[in-house]
Chain A
Amino acid sequence: MIDNVALHARSADTTGATHSGRDALLRVENLSIRFDGAPPDVNVVDDVTLSVAKGKTLCLVGESGCGKSVTALSLMGLLPTPPARIVGGSAYFGGKDLFRMSEREKADMRGNQTAMIFQEPMTSLNPVFTVGDQIVEGILRHRKVSKSEARERALEMLRRVRIPAPEKRMQAYPHEMSGGMRQRIMIAMALANGPELLIADEPTTALDVTIQAQIISLIRQLQDESGMAMILITHDLGVVAEIADEVAVMYAGKIVEAGSVDKIFMDPQHPYTIGLMGSVPSIGRRQGKLATIRGTVPPAELMPKGCRFMPRCPFADVRCVTDPPPLAEITPGHSARCWYAPLEIHRGGVA
């Protein structure tokens, strides 16, 4: 069934390297986040560990509401605290502890070494300023350059994101542009200072199908040119297969499986991942719900004590009801959060 997915993983030789975390640009360990007012001991993001190596791409996939955006925003220091609260774990970016920085240090880093683009291009630009000014502003914030040099740089960015008539577009307001164009502006803005890490949170979900492919290939091309690392959050497994080096699958706030793109697609181990793969052909290149697995993510009040996937899992038994499984390594650089992984051994073959 995986044959339906075009597997263009860029290189196989990186397998495992990023996961050891030795040359990791970003390393997140046991990150847990909760929201005030939510039931105690149910974290929206729970025990998330992931890492991204220089120049590599990590794809974060999972059903809507599983905590992908919250994870990403926390790494950018953009999570409103309160109501959000980082209750555990650490995140290191190039050796610096992201959660122990002052507000000022975080601001110095944002839009400079790290950058983010969002799910909602239509509302992410300030309606009262021209797009040119909005890009220039970000450059002037982090670079000691003159206004005209910043404008020159902004113009160059507009060219790089293939905006037609860039000189004219500098003066345009966001409402004069389509969603795809606005997302290009967001990308230009994010990359203007040459970040080492780009976090792209479902950058194409809100766009037309035809535009989606253009934006993804643009992001990929810009990544190749600049050598930046990327965390791409997406629902689109076709895109994952195309550009991921590593994949992390999230379910209900936890990473349930992580590994190189080859391992995840060729040899998925967690029942949830297997379910996702099963639903790929029906999705194709369209954005859509991953959940063709029966049932839905339980709400926080009803979160199972044991494995969070238990109510929907075809293999679940008593142990899954009582004990939460750990994220255990199956082969080097490939781990799954399931008592019965690898399933071939424990359950005698799937599919």
Chain B
Amino acid sequence: MLRYIAKRILIAIPTILIVSVLVFTLQQLLPGDPVLTLAGEERDPQVLAFLREKYRLDDPIPVQYFAWFSQVLQGNLGISLRTDIPVLHLILSKLPVTIELAIFAMVIALAIGIPAGVIAAVRKGTSVDYAANVIALSGLSIPNFWLGILLIMLVSVRWKLLPASGFVPPSEDLWLNIKTMLMPAFVLGTGLSASLMRHTRSAMLGVLRSDYIRTAKAKGLLSHVVIMKHALRNALVPIITLSTLLFGELLAGAVLTEQIFTIPGFGKLIVDAVFNRDYAVVQGVVLCTAVGFIAMNLLADVLYVLANPRLRHAR
């Protein structure tokens, strides 16, 4: 098992290298001269030249890349052109907010998606199944921003139940933190719960037809044991993988949601950085996201193997 993980990490290295090149190159294609942004009102050519020199913006691009990447490997993602704060520091301060939002959303998605999928599969072809499918389809097709604004209008403005925006760290006021996270997490989680529901449903339908389910019934097991233990345990194998991959997507989806609810997370960091042409921050954030994605893929594979005795022993 450990050898398998080590092998997977080795395979991930070239991917990360390619991503880093892409991140760096795409960066160069962004319109606008960062020096002008940096200099603000200042247009003195000497100042501009000094800034170019300081941030090595005139070196050939491969040189810039290697300079940048060797720093990255040492954990130095550069310094924000805008704020003069180290990029790593910025990321580390924003990341927990987004991760909290994503975990929250994931919990909501799992809590809705899996039971709904199981029920839809067990009651296949009945009105319950149709209702679940219709709700799932609407959940998938309603855009997050629309649902977000709708919720803000109803829950915050009309009913005044939850705060419309803002963020309070859990260390400061846990209850308020949960209250501010609830709506954004719900918005982020609904689309996800819909696809989880549909995947759970089809996985369950496949499993329920299998011979070992017939064996479980032949033993006289009661139907809830057959469904919740024998069937669900097998159906969860692909669902675990899917959830892990979806979690990566959640982090990306958080960008928009954080904008709607003005949550100072990763998403807001990247949007601000792009608008400000804050090269170093954009590079750092995209690189972190990519590494996060690769890590999630790795985790998905490992969990799949762990959940699957046949593979677990083969490794």
Residues of A within 8 A of B (CB): 76, 78, 103-104, 107-112, 115-116, 118, 120, 123-129, 137-138, 141-142, 173, 175-176, 186, 189-190
Q: How far is the CA of A180 from the CA of B100 in the complex (A)?
A: 51
B310 touches A123 (CB 8 A): no
Task: List 14 other contacts, CB 8 Å, given A107-B217, A111-B219, A124-B212.
Answer: A76-B218, A107-B222, A118-B218, A123-B211, A124-B211, A124-B214, A126-B233, A128-B237, A129-B233, A141-B220, A173-B313, A175-B310, A186-B215, A189-B215
B11 interfacial by beta-carbon distance below 8 Å: no
Shortest CB–CB separation between residue B230 and chain A, in angstroms? Answer: 6
What are the interface flags for B16-52 relative to A under an 8 Å C-beta threshold, 1 for contact and 0 otherwise?
0000000000000000000000000000000000000
**B93 contacts which chain A residues (CB < 8 A)?**
none
B221 interfacial by beta-carbon distance below 8 Å: yes
**B234 contacts which chain A residues (CB < 8 A)?**
126-128
Report B262-298 residues with CB < 8 Å from chain A CB: none
Q: Could you tell me the dominant secondary structure of chain B's interface residues?
A: helix
Q: Which residue of B lies closest to A135 (CB)?
A: B219
B230 touches A126 (CB 8 A): yes
Shortest CB–CB separation between residue B117 and chain A, in angstroms? Answer: 18
Q: How far is the CA of A76 from the CA of B220 in the complex (A)?
A: 10
Cross-chain contact of A111 among B220, B233, B313 (Cβ < 8 A): B220
B212 touches A115 (CB 8 A): no
**B310 contacts which chain A residues (CB < 8 A)?**
127, 173, 175
A118 touches B220 (CB 8 A): no
A137 touches B220 (CB 8 A): no
Q: Which residue of A lies closest to B311 (CB)?
A: A175
**B313 contacts which chain A residues (CB < 8 A)?**
173, 175-176
Cross-chain contact of A126 among B216, B222, B308 (Cβ < 8 A): B216
A-B contact list, 5 entries, CB within 8 Å = A107-B222, A110-B220, A118-B215, A125-B215, A127-B308
Shortest CB–CB separation between residue A204 and chain B, in angstroms? Answer: 16
B219 touches A138 (CB 8 A): yes
Given A76-B218, A78-B218, A108-B220, A123 contacting B212 (CB threshold 8 A): yes
B210 interfacial by beta-carbon distance below 8 Å: yes
**B214 contacts which chain A residues (CB < 8 A)?**
78, 118, 124
B309 touches A175 (CB 8 A): yes
**B221 contacts which chain A residues (CB < 8 A)?**
107, 111, 137-138, 141
Q: How far is the CA of A335 from the CA of B167 in the complex (A)?
A: 84
A78 touches B217 (CB 8 A): yes
B70 interfacial by beta-carbon distance below 8 Å: no
B223 interfacial by beta-carbon distance below 8 Å: yes
Q: How far is the CA of A53 from the CA of B257 in the complex (A)?
A: 71
**A129 contacts which chain B residues (CB < 8 A)?**
230, 233
**B233 contacts which chain A residues (CB < 8 A)?**
126, 128-129
Given A128-B234, A128-B309, A112 contacting B220 (CB threshold 8 A): yes
Report B214-245 residues with CB < 8 Å from chain A CB: 214-223, 230, 233-234, 237
B218 touches A126 (CB 8 A): no
A127 touches B212 (CB 8 A): yes
Shortest CB–CB separation between residue A138 and chain B, in angstroms? Answer: 4
Shortest CB–CB separation between residue A174 and chain B, in angstroms? Answer: 8
Cross-chain contact of B218 among A103, A110, A128, A176 (Cβ < 8 A): A110
Q: How far is the CA of A110 from the CA of B313 in the complex (A)?
A: 33
Shortest CB–CB separation between residue A4 and chain B, in angstroms? Answer: 35
**B220 contacts which chain A residues (CB < 8 A)?**
107-112, 138, 141-142
Q: How far is the CA of A299 from the CA of B215 in the complex (A)?
A: 29
Q: How far is the CA of A142 from the CA of B234 in the complex (A)?
A: 24
In this complex, the member of B211, B223, B230, B234 whose beta carbon has the largest number of chain A beta carbons within 10 angstroms is: B211
In this complex, the member of A109, A126, A127, A142 whose beta carbon has the largest number of chain B beta carbons within 10 angstroms is: A126
Report the 5 A-B pairs with minimum CB-CB distance, sorted nearest first: A111-B220, A110-B220, A111-B219, A138-B219, A123-B211
Report B245-261 residues with CB < 8 Å from chain A CB: none
**B210 contacts which chain A residues (CB < 8 A)?**
123
Q: Which residue of B lies closest to A173 (CB)?
A: B309
Shortest CB–CB separation between residue A231 and chain B, in angstroms? Answer: 14
Given A127-B309, A128-B309, A173-B313, A118 contacting B219 (CB threshold 8 A): no
**A126 contacts which chain B residues (CB < 8 A)?**
212, 215-216, 230, 233-234
**A109 contacts which chain B residues (CB < 8 A)?**
220
Q: Which residue of B lies closest to A110 (CB)?
A: B220
Q: How far is the CA of A130 from the CA of B214 in the complex (A)?
A: 17
**A142 contacts which chain B residues (CB < 8 A)?**
220
Q: How far is the CA of A138 from the CA of B237 in the complex (A)?
A: 24
Shortest CB–CB separation between residue B234 and chain A, in angstroms? Answer: 6
Q: How far is the CA of A103 from the CA of B223 in the complex (A)?
A: 9
Q: How far is the CA of A111 from the CA of B215 in the complex (A)?
A: 10
**A115 contacts which chain B residues (CB < 8 A)?**
218
A124 touches B215 (CB 8 A): yes
B219 touches A141 (CB 8 A): yes
**A176 contacts which chain B residues (CB < 8 A)?**
313
**A107 contacts which chain B residues (CB < 8 A)?**
217, 220-223
**A118 contacts which chain B residues (CB < 8 A)?**
211, 214-215, 218
**A116 contacts which chain B residues (CB < 8 A)?**
218
